[in-house]
A = this chain, B = another copy of it.
């Protein structure tokens, strides 16, 4: 456990990518704060695009929340202690009082439902949002997460080199679907930003290379700028603590 309980500084905003805006807590210390039911806790780390999606939704929906750092790269998410919280051995996890949620798609849906923000305006729009959340989990984020991990966070000597171009080929098909969908429209669903946008953009602001060049995908490029222009938007490394600070 490398982090500790730090409280009270969540209104101190910094704009550097080296330091997040909020203090983090060790998840084993969370019990000490459970009495404060007004603050949601997001178990997370800065390099996780899946955690970033949820952090960004919390921020844009103006929820009072704080990050709890999980040292994923040291195996913390697969530890017996963490598996008591999430048997799937993954971040993000959102704690809201007695409710514990995992899987970014579920957390996004919960934030949107609870706040009445970032969601669809009809049953058809809500189904369309859910469709893009599933597509993102199935075809986009899951492949980027793996590819970026292999290319940036795994020691070079352990890298299965042949896997990288294979994954990038699959991703090219996914970028094509998203880029084509965004031609002539501002947002993935409807006429305002929704959790569908926040899910699909989750891995696309990171600086580490994984074979995605915004210049190759002009509709995605403009859409990413559009999301970054939403009041409250922050870069993942401004919003969450990095396991590997720059």
Contact = CB atoms under 8 A, between A and B. Distances in A.
Contact of A162 (B101, B105, B162): B162
B87 A105 contact: no
A76 to B, nearest CB: 16
A89 B178 CA distance: 12
B160 A131 contact: no
Interface string A124-149: 10010011011101110110001000
A130 B109 contact: yes
A1 interface: no
Interface in A96-135: 99, 101-106, 109-110, 124, 127, 130-131, 133-135
A170 B163 CA distance: 12
* Chain multiplicity (copies): 2
B134 A106 contact: yes
B177 A166 contact: no
Contacts of A161: 162
A138 B130 contact: no
Contact of A135 (B103, B127, B139, B170): B103
Contacts of A103: 130-131, 134-135, 138
A106 B130 contact: yes
Contact of A88 (B110, B135, B137, B160): B135
B105 A134 contact: yes
Contacts of A170: 146
A120 B102 CA distance: 17
Contacts of A141: 138
Contacts of A18: none
A180 interface: yes
A173 B181 CA distance: 33
A214 B139 CA distance: 26
Contacts of A104: 134
B142 A127 contact: no
A177 B134 contact: no
Interface of A: 87-89, 99, 101-106, 109-110, 124, 127, 130-131, 133-135, 137-139, 141-142, 146, 160-163, 166, 170, 173, 177, 180-181
Given A99-B124, A106-B131, A163-B166, 11 more contacts: A87-B180, A87-B181, A88-B139, A101-B127, A103-B138, A110-B127, A137-B138, A138-B138, A138-B142, A142-B142, A163-B163
